């Protein structure tokens, strides 16, 4: 994975993964039966939870553009709250 990031011109991302690898893998220190209940404070996953909530509730959108617009507006709004 790190080699692929370097090849794609994402050397900074590769360094971040390598630097924080221990933190990324902390989940696996717990028994597997607990993994589903563990929560994160990841700033990326938190806004995505709001998107999942709204898209799951809507189930279907008339077309893909409506869905993309909703996701864009939610991300825009959530980024202003931080």
Q: Is residue 25 in a domain?
A: yes
Alpha-carbon gap, residue 66 to 64, rounded angstroms: 5
pLDDT of residue 56: 60
Same domain, 49 and 21: no
Q: Is residue 66 in a domain?
A: yes
Alpha-carbon gap, residue 52 to 1, rounded angstroms: 27
What averages of pLDDT result for each successive group of 10 residues across the chain (82 residues)? 83 86 85 80 64 64 76 79 54
Q: Is residue 36 in a domain?
A: no
pLDDT of residue 55: 62
Same domain, 23 and 49: no
Q: Is residue 50 in a domain?
A: yes
Alpha-carbon gap, residue 71 to 65, rounded angstroms: 10
Structural domain boundaries enclosing 68: 45-81
The count of structural domains within the chain is 2
pLDDT of residue 44: 60
């Amino acid at each position: 994975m790190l080699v692929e990031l370097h090849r794609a011109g994402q050397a900074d991302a590769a360094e971040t993964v390598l630097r924080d690898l221990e933190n990324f893998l902390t989940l696996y220190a717990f028994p597997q039966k607990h993994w589903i209940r563990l929560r994160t404070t990841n700033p990326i996953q938190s806004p995505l939870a709001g998107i999942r909530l709204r898209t799951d509730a809507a189930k279907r959108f008339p077309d893909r553009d409506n869905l993309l617009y909703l996701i864009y507006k939610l991300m825009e709004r959530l980024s202003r709250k931080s």
